[in-house]
Amino acid sequence: MGMEQRVTFGSVARPLWPAVAELLGARGLVVQLRMINAELAFPDDVPPENWRELRLGTPGGMVTLRREPAGVALVIWGNSEPALRQAWHALTWACAETTGGRVVTPEGEVSADDFRRGAELPEALRG
């Protein structure tokens, strides 16, 4: 069974993959593109504007981004190790941060900054 987090978009219509990768890379978390719409991709490929699904390789494992009408869902396996959960939270934060979006939590929608403060994140993104 998988676990999902959602980001609703703010001022930008979609998360821009290069912006998310650049933001996380600048903070020490390398995330690589592995698949675009169920097709293998090179790590430096740029998804087309109409992408539906991205598979991203992180040091802890694979995270799937699925486009939704009002945002994006980020999915991992339910039995994931801490390193993958931390990367999942980091990607969720980065999607909200780069789009001006909000993270949907059980308590309601929160800003990227508020999510980052309470999320389980890799050491490089804490603080």
Confidence of residue 9 (pLDDT cuts 50, 70, 90): confident
Beta carbons of 118 and 5 less than 8 angstroms apart: no
Average per-residue pLDDT in the chain?
91
- Interacting residues of 91 by C-beta distance below 8 A, sequence separation 6+: 20, 24, 31, 56, 58, 63, 65, 74
What are the structural domains of the chain?
Answer: 2-121 (3.30.310)
**pTM tops 0.85:** yes
